[in-house]
C-alpha cells in the first residue's frame, strides 16, 4: 500500500478500483464529491496545525467560558515568562561554565608556557581538549543522539510540521533510572525532556570548552525549543490544577507557538540579542507566523534579556570566577562614534561579494563533510567517537603548533592593557615569545571564541595583527569549523562563522591599509556579516544580531548592504546551511516558494491512489485493517445519505483519533448513528496531543473477534470542515494554501462529479521530491 | 439587490428562489455543487490577491520564459531600489525644508524677542503659523483631500485589500491642467500620482513648519506607498520597452508588495530607522507577508539609509542652511554608556503602566475629536479651513503665551553650549528673560519638534527643566496633538506622541529625583516608548525604532519591558490609533484574530442570497443585466454538462474581466463553446490592473440589441480553481484562510448536494460588522 513510487512531476493515472472488498461501499463509478486526502507515508510523525472542527472539539474547546479563556491567556504569557527565565538561566550557566572551563585550561597552559615547559603545556592542552570532546560525544552518542549537531535544523523542521522522533526527548531505553527517580514528580516524558536539556547543555559546554571551533547558538536554540516543548507538555495528572491549566496547550498549534518563543529565546540567550532572536525565529525558523505570536516571542526574549542583565549585575562583583566583566558576548567595542563615507562603499561591496562566495563555499564544504561523516557515523558509535577524537587531536595539534612558527611582535608602547597579557583574555598573548613581545596568532587562538571575536572586532588595534598570522588564522578557522560541525556533540556553527568571517574581514582591512577610512575592527565586523549572510542567507535578523553584538547603529547601512550582497551572491550557488543540513539529515521541508514547474502541474496530476476512506459509521474490522496496512495520518470520511445515489464527503479523521476511539471501545452493535452520548465518555485529555513516546500505536490495540464485528460512529470525531481544493488547481496555488494556513492534509475534490477519482495528495514525506 | 441588511451575527435563512427570470437556468431544487461567492457590495474597490488561474492566465503568465522571469526579478529589485532612492530623497527634502522654514521663523521671532518687541514677535509667529497652516490645508482640501491626516490608516487598509478611491491619486477634476502638461511624458494616472506626492509633501512640510503639533512620519509613509504604487503602475504605452518590463507588475499582488516596500521606506526615511521601518510595515501595516518580501523591504530601506547618509555627508559641509549637523532626527544622545540596575525596574514598570493609560486616553480623545471634526468637515471646505485656522490661532496663542508666565532660570555655569542660545536650536532659549537667564518652557516650544525631542532625550541635563514647565509642556503637547490630528492637512501623529511621551517621562524623572539611578533623559526615552506603546500597540517595531532613534542598545531590555506593559494596559481600554482612525474614516478592515463569536458561527450562517451566477456560456444580455444591477466584484460560473442533471461549479469570474470581455465584443452567435481562438484577441494588457481612474465601468459599455442577444464563452477567462470551503466550516476557521492566503472571494459549497443553497459570503465591506 506504499505510495512512494510516484515519479517526480509525473502525472498519476486515475485509478479506478474498489478500496476494500467490504461490500457496503461501491464508490467505483458512483458520483459526486469524492474526497482525496493527504496522508503521511513515512515514519516521521507529522504535526497537524489545522483547527480540527468536530463535534467533540465544539463541545470541549468551543464551549470554554470566560474563566477558561482567561486561564488560557494567562498561561500563555506565564509559559513565555518561564521559558524566558529558564532559557536565560541556562544561557548564563552555559557562558559561565564555558568561560571558566576554557579559562582554567588557557591559564594553566599559559603558565606552563611562561615556565617554558612547552611539552607539558601541549600535553595539558591536548589532553584536556580530548577529554572534554570525548565526554561531550559520549553523552551525546549514548544518551541523546538527536542532540548532535546544530539543533536549528531540527527545530526548523519541527516548526514546518515534521516531528522527527525524539528531537526533544531522550530515547526510552537509556533513561530508565532517570525516570524511576523522577516519576514521582512528573510524567516520564517530562523527565526525559529535562534530561535531554541537561545533556544537551553539558555536551555543548564541554564541546565549546574543548577548543573545537564550534558554537553554542545552535544548541541554545535547540535547548530553548526543548524547554518550551517541555513546559507546554509539562504537568502531571497527579496535580489536578497544573493539568487543568495546561490542558489547552496539549495540541500541536499551541506547542508550535511555544517552541517558536523558545527558539527565539535561545538565540537571545546565546548572543544577548533579544530583537535579533525574535527576528531570527521569524525569518529563518518559523513557517507560520502571526502578530500575537510576534509579541509573545518578543516578551520571551525581553525576559531573557532582563534576566541576563540581572545575572550580569551579580557577576560584576566578581563572584563568577573567570567570567568576564564584559557580560556575555556583547562586544560593545564600538561605543565611540565611527565615521565612513560613500567612498568606502565600493570596497565594502567587493568584500561582501567575496564574503558571499566564501559563505557558499563554506556551505558546500560543510555539506560534503557532513555527508562523509554520515557514512562514518552509520558504522556505529565507536566510529563516531573515533572521528571526534581524531578531530580533537588534529585541532589541538594545529592550534598549538602553528603559533610556534608565528613571529613575535614587540609590545606597542601605548598598549591599553598590560603586554604581554598574563591571564585569561587579552590581545597580547606571550606564548613562546621573549618578554615584552607577544604572539599575535596565539592571542587569537588561546582565547575562547568569544574573546577572539572581541579582539578581532576591537577598534584602535590596527597594528596588533600582521597579515600572515591573520591569513593562517583564517585558514585554520575555515577548515576547523567545517571539520568540527559534524561530530556527535551539540555544536553550533554561528560562532565559528563569525570568527572566520571576522578574520577574513581583518585580512581585507590589513590588505587595504591606509587606502580606506574604515578601521580594521570595522572590517572584521563587515567580514563576519558577509560570511554569515553568505552561509545563513537571512538578512534582517542577522543585521539586528550584528548590531546587537556590536552595539553601534551607525554601522547599520553598511551591514545591511553587506548582508544583501553576500546573500544574493551565495544564493546563486547553493541553499542556506540549515536547509543543507536538513537535507543531509533526511528531514523533509516544504519550501514557501513554489518552484516554476509547480505552476505547470495541477494537484490532480500529483495525486495517486488507492484512496483509503471510511464510512461515517464504519465496521471496527475495517478500521483496524486500514490502520494496520497503511501509514497514513488522515482518512476521509464519507456518507451515503438516503435518497442520494452517490457518497458524500463528510470530513477527515486522524489516525491518532481513530486509535483513541479503538482504545476506548465505545462500539455500536449495529450500524446506527448514536445520538452523541458517546461524547460524554471522552475527555479532552483523550484527544490531547501526547508526548512522542507516550503515543499509542495501532499494534497496541487488541480486540476480540466480537468487537471486530461491531461499528463505530465516526461523525462526532471527524473534522467536518476540512480544507478542500479542486483537482484543477495548480500545485503552486495549492502550495500557498498549504504553507500559509499551515496544513498537513488537503482534500482534493474532482472537478466534475460523476467521474470518480480515487487518489490522494501525499503528506509531509513527499514534499521534498516535489 | 443590496445585501447589506444582514444583521450582525444573525443566521441568514437559506433562500430558495430563481436568480433571474431567464429560462435557461433552473438551479432551484437542482443538486450538486452550487457555488456561493464572496462579492463586494460597497463603492470601495476591493483588491484581489488570489492567483487567478484561467486559460488566459496560463497562456500568458505561466508561459513566461527564462528571459521574462529574469526581467521580472530584475525589475522587482530595480523598482525597490528606485523606491528607496526616491523616498530617501523626498525624506531628505522634507527634513531640509522643515528645518529651514521653521528655523527661519524661530530665528526671526527670537531676534524680535531679543529686541524686546514682544508684540511684533507674536504677530510674526502668529501670522507665519496661520499662513503655513492655511496653505497646507488649502492645497489638501482643494486638490488632494485623501492626503489629509496620517496616511498610515489608508495604506494599512490598502494592504488589507481595500482600495479607497483616490488614496494614491488626485481626483480627476482638479488636475486637468497638470495632465495636459505632462501627458506627453506619461499617462494621466502617472501625472496625477506624482502630483499627489508633491502636494502631500508640500502639505506635510508646511503643516509641520507651522508649529502645529503634527508629525511627518504618517505623510512619509503615505508618500512612500504612493511612490511605490506610481512606479509599479508607471510607464506609458508610448514607450514599448518600459511597458514590456512593467507589464508583470500590473496586478494587485505585485503592487501590494511594492507598496509594502514603499511604506517601510517611508518610516525609514522619516526616522532614519531602516530596520524599524521594515518591522513597522510587517507588524502594523501588512496583512500578508513572506520572507522574500521581507528581503525586498529590507533592501528598500537599506537604500534609503545609504542615500540619506550620502545626503548628510553633503550637508555636513554646511550647504544646507539651517539644517543641523545631527543628521535628521537621529538623537544619538546616548553614545555614552548608561547604567541601570534591577532596582530601577519597578519604577519603570509604574511609568509604563501610566504611559499605557495615557496612550489609551490619547486614542480615546483622538477618536472623539476626529469624529467631531468629521461632522464639521462634512459641512464643506470653508468649515474645514475655518477649523484649521482656529486650531492654528489657538496653538499660536498657547505656544507664545504660556512661556511668558514661566519663570526664568539662571544659566548653569557649566553649560555645554552658550547660554542663553541665540540661534536656531539649543536648550537655553532666552525668550523674555534677562541676560544670563533662560526660559525652560520656551526652549522646548521655540524649537522644531525634532529639536525638542533631542533636548528632552539629552543626558546630563537633569537640572535644566523644572517640574512646572515640564507639566505645562506635557499638557500643551497632549491637548494640541489631539486637536491637530484631524485637520485637513497631511499630518502624522508619531512625532507628537514622542514629544508628549518624552515630556511625560521627564516629568516622572523630575518627580523621582535622586531616588533612581536613571537620568532624566533616559526617563524621557522610556516615557516616549510607553506612550507610543499605549497608542500604537506595536512592540518589536517600536522597540527597534526607539533604539535606532537613540542609538543605544543598552536600553533595549527596559524599552522592551515598557512597550509590552504599556501595550497590554492600553489594550484593555481600546484599539490602536490606526484602527480607530480607519473606523472613523469608514475604511473596512479584516482583523487577523477571530472574535470569540466567530467560533460559534459557520460560514453557512452568514451567507445570504440571492446569488448571482453565470453559465459557462452566457447570454450577453444576462451579463449586462447582472453587472448593472449588482455591485459584486466576483461571480461564480457554473456548467451543466450533458448527462448530469445538476449544474457543476466551474469557477469564479471577476467583474473587471467581464467588463473587458464586453468591451472587446468577441461574442458568439450561438451558445457553442469556441475553441479558445478568442484568447488570441486579448493581450495581457487587457486584463492588467488599471489605475483607479482609468477603469471602465459597466455604464461605459454600450451594446446594440443584436449584440445583447449573443453569447460569450466565459470558460477561458474564469478562474477554474477558486478556493472553496464547506458551509459547515466555522467562521473563525474561514477567516484564517481568508487572511492568511489573502483572499477576497471565497466560495461556500453546501455540505450535502441535492440541497440547493443560493447564498454568498459578503465581500470586503461586510467584514466590519462580523
Smallest CA-to-CA distance from A729 within B652, B68, B660 is with: B652
Distance CA A349, CA A530 (A): 10
In A, minimum Cα distance to B32 occurs at A32
Q: According to the model, what pLDDT value does residue B7 have? A: 30
Q: Retrieve residue B357's grid coordinates.
A: 493609560
Distance CA B168, CA B226 (A): 5
Which of A302, A313, A551 minimises the CB distance to B342?
A313
Q: According to the model, what pLDDT value does residue B765 have? A: 35
Please report residues of B whose CB lies closer than 8 A to that of A317. none
> Using the beta-carbon criterion (under 8 Å), do B721 and A729 form an inter-chain contact?
yes
Strands (E), B534-589: none
Burial of A337 (0-12, 13-18, 19+ CB in 10 A): exposed
Q: Is the separation of the CB atoms in A60 and A53 below 8 Å?
A: no
Distance CA B282, CA B304 (A): 17
Mutate to test the interface with B, among A61, A274, A275, A538 (most CBs of B within 10 A): A275
Q: How far is CA B439 from the centre of its chain?
A: 39
Q: Retrieve residue A654's grid coordinates.
A: 486522524
Please report residues of A whose CB lies closer than 8 A to that of B554. 332, 551
User: Does pLDDT of A554 surpass 50?
Assistant: yes
**What single-letter DSSP state applies at residue A670?**
S
The secondary element (H helix, E strand) that includes residue A621 is helix A620-629
Distance CA B649, CA B665 (A): 25
Q: According to the model, what pLDDT value does residue B502 have? A: 92
Q: Give the A:B interface size as CB pairs under 8 Å.
A: 206
Q: How far is CA B190 from the centre of its chain?
A: 20
Please report residues of B whose CB lies closer than 8 A to that of A35. none
Please report residues of B whose CB lies closer than 8 A to that of A257. none
> Using the beta-carbon criterion (under 8 Å), do B726 and A740 form an inter-chain contact?
no
Distance CA B477, CA B399 (A): 10
Q: According to the model, what pLDDT value does residue A673 have? A: 67
Give per-residue pLDDT as tens, A209-250: 777 888 888 888 988 988 888 787 764 444 444 556 676 777
| Region for residue A723 given its phi and psi (left: phi exceeds 0; alpha: psi -120 to 50; beta: otherwise) | beta
Please report residues of B whose CB lies closer than 8 A to that of A553. 332, 547-548, 551, 553
Please report residues of B whose CB lies closer than 8 A to that of A560. 274, 298, 301-302, 305-306
Shortest distance between the Cα of B247 and any Cα of chain A, in A, equals: 19
Which stretch of A32-46, A718-732, B230-244, B297-311 has the lowest confidence by average pLDDT?
A32-46
CATH superfamily of A66-114+149-164+177-316: Clc chloride channel (1.10.3080.10)
User: Does pLDDT of A31 surpass 80?
Assistant: no
> Using the beta-carbon criterion (under 8 Å), do A736 and B336 form an inter-chain contact?
no
- Looking at per-residue confidence, does A563 or B109 come out higher? A563
Burial of B293 (0-12, 13-18, 19+ CB in 10 A): buried
> Using the beta-carbon criterion (under 8 Å), do B596 and A69 form an inter-chain contact?
yes
Question: Facing residues of B724 across strands?
Answer: A724, B747
Which of A313, A721, A726 minimises the CB distance to B721?
A726
Distance CA B373, CA B6 (A): 30
Smallest CA-to-CA distance from B718 within B753, B679, B757 is with: B679
Q: Mean pLDDT for each 10-residue chunk of chain B (770 residues)?
A: 29 25 23 29 58 72 73 87 92 84 83 82 89 86 78 86 70 41 45 69 79 84 87 56 64 86 92 88 83 88 85 73 52 55 84 95 92 85 89 90 82 72 66 80 82 80 81 92 85 90 92 82 91 91 84 77 92 90 80 77 73 84 88 80 71 85 83 68 70 67 86 86 82 81 77 45 32
> Using the beta-carbon criterion (under 8 Å), do A730 and B567 form an inter-chain contact?
no
Mutate to test the interface with B, among A265, A334, A539 (most CBs of B within 10 A): A539
Smallest CA-to-CA distance from B289 within A506, A261, A279, A342 is with: A279
Please report residues of A whose CB lies closer than 8 A to that of B88. none
Q: According to the model, what pLDDT value does residue A193 have? A: 67
Tally the residues of chain B: 770
> Using the beta-carbon criterion (under 8 Å), do A553 and B548 form an inter-chain contact?
yes
Distance CA A520, CA A507 (A): 8
In B, minimum Cα distance to A277 occurs at B540
User: Does pLDDT of A524 surpass 80?
Assistant: yes
Q: Retrieve residue A96's grid coordinates.
A: 559561565
Please report residues of B whose CB lies closer than 8 A to that of A544. 275, 544
Distance CA A583, CA A597 (A): 21
Q: According to the model, what pLDDT value does residue B20 have? A: 23
User: Does pLDDT of A266 surpass 90?
Assistant: yes
Report residue B760: phi and psi, to 5°.
-150, 155
In B, minimum Cα distance to A335 occurs at B335
Please report residues of A whose CB lies closer than 8 A to that of B543. 275, 298
User: Does pLDDT of A200 surpass 80?
Assistant: no
Shortest distance between the Cα of A432 and any Cα of chain B, in A, equals: 38
Write the DSSP string, B404-417. HHSPEEEPPTT-SS
Burial of B346 (0-12, 13-18, 19+ CB in 10 A): exposed
Q: What CATH code would you report for A342-376+401-585?
A: 1.10.3080.10
Q: According to the model, what pLDDT value does residue B365 have? A: 93
Burial of B177 (0-12, 13-18, 19+ CB in 10 A): exposed
User: Does pLDDT of A251 surpass 80?
Assistant: no
CB-hemisphere CA count at 13 Å for A313? Answer: 12
Distance CA B333, CA B523 (A): 13
**Average of pLDDT values for A571-582?**
89
CATH superfamily of B85-319: Clc chloride channel (1.10.3080.10)
Please report residues of A whose CB lies closer than 8 A to that of B741. 736-737, 740-741
Query: Matching CATH topology for A66-114+149-164+177-316 and A342-376+401-585?
Result: yes
CATH superfamily of B594-766: CBS-domain (3.10.580.10)
Distance CA A737, CA A749 (A): 15
> Using the beta-carbon criterion (under 8 Å), do A337 and B332 form an inter-chain contact?
yes
Write the CB contacts of A464 (distance below 8 Å, at least 6 apart in sequence): A409, A412, A427, A428, A440, A443
The domain over range B342-378+397-585 is classified in CATH as 1.10.3080.10 = yes
Shortest distance between the Cα of B77 and any Cα of chain A, in A, equals: 11
In B, minimum Cα distance to A597 occurs at B62
**Interface predicted TM-score of the whole assembly (ipTM), two decimals:** 0.82
3-class DSSP assignment, residue B198? helix
**What single-letter DSSP state applies at residue A208?**
H
CB-hemisphere CA count at 13 Å for B663? Answer: 15
Tally the residues of chain A: 770
Smallest CA-to-CA distance from B266 within B91, B395, B383, B69 is with: B91
> Using the beta-carbon criterion (under 8 Å), do B644 and A283 form an inter-chain contact?
no
Mutate to test the interface with A, among B560, B595, B746, B748 (most CBs of A within 10 A): B560
Strands (E), A413-520: 437-439
Please report residues of B whose CB lies closer than 8 A to that of A332. 337, 553-554
The secondary element (H helix, E strand) that includes residue B525 is helix B520-536
Distance CA A640, CA B377 (A): 62
> Using the beta-carbon criterion (under 8 Å), do A275 and B726 form an inter-chain contact?
no
Q: CA geometry: angle at A514 spanning A510 and A519, to 5°?
A: 65
Please report residues of B whose CB lies closer than 8 A to that of A289. 289
Please report residues of B whose CB lies closer than 8 A to that of A648. 751-753
> Using the beta-carbon criterion (under 8 Å), do B641 and A730 form an inter-chain contact?
no
Q: Is the separation of the CB atoms in B659 and B631 below 8 Å?
A: no
Question: Facing residues of A421 across strands?
Answer: A429
Report residue A422: phi and psi, to 5°.
-110, 100
Q: According to the model, what pLDDT value does residue B640 have? A: 76
> Using the beta-carbon criterion (under 8 Å), do B51 and A736 form an inter-chain contact?
yes
Of chain A, the percentage scoring pLDDT greater than 70 comes to 77
Evaluated on CA atoms B274, B276, B282, B284, the torsion sign reads negative
User: Does pLDDT of A445 surpass 70?
Assistant: yes
Mean pLDDT taken over chain A: 76
Mutate to test the interface with B, among A272, A281, A733, A756 (most CBs of B within 10 A): A733
> Using the beta-carbon criterion (under 8 Å), do B721 and A723 form an inter-chain contact?
no
Q: Is the separation of the CB atoms in A28 and A18 below 8 Å?
A: yes
Smallest CA-to-CA distance from B499 within B467, B462, B527, B522 is with: B527
- Looking at per-residue confidence, does A514 or B685 come out higher? A514
> Using the beta-carbon criterion (under 8 Å), do B648 and A599 form an inter-chain contact?
no
Distance CA A624, CA A715 (A): 17
Task: Give the CA distances from residue A746 to residues A603, A734, B36, B733, in Å, rounded to whole numbers and listed in that order.
Answer: 10, 9, 21, 15
Which of B298, B332, B560 minimises the CB distance to A298?
B560
In B, minimum Cα distance to A641 occurs at B752
> Using the beta-carbon criterion (under 8 Å), do B556 and A275 form an inter-chain contact?
yes
3-class DSSP assignment, residue B241? helix
Cis peptide before A602 (omega within 30 of 0): no
Name the residue ranges covered by the structural domains of chain A: 66-114+149-164+177-316, 342-376+401-585, 594-766
Please report residues of A whose CB lies closer than 8 A to that of B735. none
Distance CA A238, CA A242 (A): 9
> Using the beta-carbon criterion (under 8 Å), do A721 and B721 form an inter-chain contact?
no
To the nearest 10 degrees (0 to 180), the angle between helices B467-484 and B381-405 is 180
> Using the beta-carbon criterion (under 8 Å), do B556 and A341 form an inter-chain contact?
no
Please report residues of A whose CB lies closer than 8 A to that of B344. none
Strands (E), A367-521: 408-410, 437-439
Q: According to the model, what pLDDT value does residue B138 have? A: 85
Q: How far is CA B759 from the centre of its chain?
A: 33
> Using the beta-carbon criterion (under 8 Å), do B33 and A753 form an inter-chain contact?
yes
Amino acid at each position: 500500500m506504499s505510495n512512494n513510487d510516484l515519479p517526480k512531476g509525473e502525472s498519476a493515472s486515475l485509478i479506478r478500483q474498489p478500496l476494500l472488498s467490504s461490500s457496503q461501499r461501491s464508490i467505483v463509478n458512483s458520483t459526486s464529491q469524492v474526497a482525496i486526502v493527504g496522508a503521511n507515508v513515512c515514519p516521521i510523525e507529522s504535526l497537524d496545525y489545522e483547527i480540527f472542527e468536530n463535534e467533540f472539539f465544539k463541545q470541549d474547546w468551543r464551549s470554554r467560558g470566560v474563566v477558561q479563556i482567561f486561564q488560557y491567556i494567562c498561561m500563555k504569557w506565564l509559559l513565555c515568562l518561564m521559558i524566558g527565565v529558564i532559557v536565560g538561566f541556562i544561557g548564563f550557566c552555559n557562558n559561565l561554565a564555558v568561560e571558566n572551563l576554557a579559562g582554567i585550561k588557557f591559564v594553566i597552559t599559559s603558565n606552563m608556557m611562561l615556565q617554558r615547559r612547552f611539552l607539558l603545556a601541549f600535553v595539558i592542552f591536548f589532553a584536556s581538549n580530548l577529554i572534554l570532546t570525548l565526554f561531550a560525544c559520549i553523552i551525546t552518542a549514548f544518551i541523546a543522539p538527536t542532540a548532535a549537531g546544530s539543533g536549528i535544523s531540527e527545530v526548523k523542521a519541527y516548526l514546518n510540521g515534521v516531528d522527527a522522533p525524539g528531537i526533544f526527548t531522550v530515547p526510552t531505553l537509556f533513561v530508565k533510572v532517570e525516570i524511576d527517580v523522577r516519576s514521582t514528580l512528573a510524567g516520564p516524558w517530562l523527565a526525559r525532556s529535562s534530561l535531554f536539556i541537561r545533556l544537551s547543555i553539558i555536551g555543548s559546554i564541554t564541546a565549546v570548552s574543548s577548543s573545537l571551533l564550534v558554537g553554542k547558538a545552535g544548541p541554545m536554540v535547540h535547548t530553548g525549543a526543548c524547554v518550551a516543548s517541555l513546559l507546554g507538555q509539562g504537568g502531571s495528572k497527579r496535580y489536578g490544577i497544573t493539568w487543568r491549566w495546561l490542558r489547552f496547550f496539549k495540541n500541536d498549534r499551541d506547542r508550535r507557538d511555544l517552541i517558536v518563543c523558545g527558539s527565539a529565546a535561545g538565540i537571545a540567550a546565546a548572543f544577548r540579542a533579544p530583537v535579533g532572536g525574535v527576528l531570527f525565529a521569524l525569518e529563518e525558523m518559523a513557517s507560520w507566523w502571526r502578530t500575537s505570536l510576534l509579541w509573545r516571542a518578543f516578551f520571551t526574549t525581553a525576559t531573557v534579556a532582563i534576566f541576563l542583565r540581572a545575572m550580569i549585575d551579580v557577576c560584576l562583583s566578581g563572584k563568577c570566577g573567570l567570567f568576564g566583566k564584559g557580560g556575555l558576548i556583547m562586544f560593545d567595542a564600538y561605543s565611540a562614534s565611527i565615521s565612513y563615507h560613500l567612498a568606502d562603499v565600493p570596497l565594502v561591496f567587493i568584500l561582501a561579494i567575496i564574503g558571499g562566495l566564501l559563505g557558499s563555499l563554506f556551505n558546500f564544504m560543510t555539506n560534503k563533510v557532513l555527508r562523509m561523516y554520515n557514512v562514518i557515523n552509520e558504522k556505529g558509535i565507536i566510529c563516531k567517537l573515533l572521528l571526534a577524537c581524531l578531530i580533537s587531536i588534529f585541532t589541538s595539534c594545529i592550534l598549538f603548533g602553528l603559533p610556534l612558527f608565528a613571529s613575535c611582535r614587540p609590545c606597542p608602547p601605548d598598549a591599553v592593557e598590560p603586554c604581554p597579557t598574563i591571564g585569561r583574555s587579552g590581545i597580547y598573548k606571550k606564548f613562546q615569545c621573549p618578554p615584552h613581545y607577544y604572539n599575535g596568532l596565539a592571542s587569537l587562538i588561546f582565547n575562547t571564541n568569544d574573546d577572539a571575536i572581541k579582539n578581532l572586532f576591537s577598534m584602535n588595534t590596527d597594528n596588533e595583527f600582521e597579515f600572515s598570522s591573520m591569513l593562517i588564522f583564517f585558514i585554520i578557522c575555515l577548515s576547523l569549523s567545517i571539520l568540527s560541525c559534524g561530530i556527535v556533540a551539540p555544536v553550533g556553527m554561528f560562532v565559528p562563522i563569525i570568527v572566520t568571517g571576522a578574520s577574513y574581514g581583518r585580512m581585507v582591512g590589513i590588505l587595504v591599509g591606509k587606502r580606506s577610512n574604515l578601521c580594521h575592527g570595522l572590517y572584521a565586523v563587515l567580514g563576519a556579516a558577509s560570511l554569515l549572510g553568505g552561509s545563513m542567507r537571512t538578512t534582517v535578523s542577522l543585521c539586528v544580531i550584528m548590531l546587537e553584538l556590536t552595539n553601534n547603529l551607525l554601522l547599520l547601512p553598511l551591514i545591511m548592504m553587506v548582508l544583501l550582497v553576500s546573500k544574493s551572491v551565495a544564493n546563486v550557488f547553493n541553499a542556506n546551511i540549515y536547509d543543507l543540513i536538513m537535507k543531509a539529515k533526511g528531514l523533509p521541508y516544504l519550501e514557501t516558494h513554489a518552484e516554476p514547474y509547480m505552476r505547470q502541474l495541477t494537484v490532480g496530476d500529483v495525486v495517486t491512489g488507492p484512496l483509503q476512506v471510511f464510512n461515517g459509521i464504519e465496521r471496527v474490522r475495517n478500521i483496524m485493517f486500514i490502520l494496520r496496512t497503511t501509514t497514513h495520518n488522515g482518512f476521509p470520511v464519507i456518507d451515503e445519505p438516503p435518497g442520494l445515489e452517490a457518497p458524500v464527503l463528510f470530513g477527515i479523521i486522524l489516525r491518532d483519533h481513530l486509535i483513541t476511539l479503538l482504545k476506548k471501545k465505545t462500539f455500536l452493535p449495529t450500524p446506527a448513528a448514536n445520538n452523541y452520548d458517546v461524547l460524554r465518555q471522552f475527555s479532552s485529555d483523550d484527544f490531547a496531543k501526547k508526548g512522542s513516546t507516550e503515543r499509542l500505536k495501532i499494534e497496541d490495540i487488541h480486540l476480540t473477534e466480537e468487537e471486530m464485528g461491531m461499528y463505530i460512529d465516526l461523525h462526532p470525531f471527524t473534522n467536518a470542515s476540512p480544507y478542500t481544493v479542486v483537482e484543477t488547481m495548480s500545485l503552486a496555488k495549492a502550495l500557498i494554501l498549504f504553507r500559509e494556513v499551515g496544513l498537513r492534509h488537503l482534500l482534493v475534490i474532482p472537478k466534475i462529479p460523476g467521474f470518480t477519482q480515487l487518489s490522494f495528495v501525499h503528506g509531509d514525506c513527499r514534499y521534498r521530491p516535489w
